[in-house]
Amino acid sequence: MSVLEIVYASAPTDSMLLYTLEVSAPGVTPVRIVQGYEDRMLGVDGQLVLFEAAAVELSLPSRNASGQQTLRFAIAGANDRIRPIVDAMLESGQMVTLTSRTYLASDITAPAERPYVMTVLSGQFENGAFVAEASYYDLLNTAWPRERYTAETAPGIQWL
């Protein structure tokens, strides 16, 4: 049983959950947001980095057999920080990733569970908030077989 499962089950008063989002694109400084009212220094890859406080809303995907689970995020008050990343994405054609991490307030050195890295499918600015749809698993567009056979990995294929 993980530490996070224990916290969910017992709801101790000394352990508060901190939900964070990181919006990033290649070549642009990532924007790190923590849900709440105060900025926090939290551990990412062994270093403490600043997460800025903002209002974050999450809409979970519907339970269905579509093969693609899309989450909808809204981050209020972060337009001036997120807009350069979205603009850089549109100019370069590279994808924007959204990483979700959950921390315990009693242990800020590392996330309490594995981070979820999602691909931003769409994003727009509405009423002072950045609203994005992100997907963390796209079963329909997953290659099968996943390993591609080339002349380097399977030398005999060149004679087929």
How many other CB atoms are found less than 10 A from the CB of residue 10? 9
Model pLDDT for residues 72-128, shown as the tens digit of each residue: 888 887 667 777 777 776 677 777 888 888 888 888 888 888 888 888 887 788 777
As a whole number of angstroms, the distance between CA 17 and CA 5 comes to 12
Check pLDDT > 90 for residue 49: yes
143, 92 contact by CB (below 8 A): no
How many other CB atoms are found less than 10 A from the CB of residue 130? 24
Amino acid at the residue 155: P
Backbone angles phi, psi at 101, to 5 degrees: -130, 145
105, 89 contact by CB (below 8 A): no
| Confidence band for 14, pLDDT divided at 50, 70 and 90 | low
Average pLDDT, the chain: 78
| Integer Rg of the chain from CA | 19
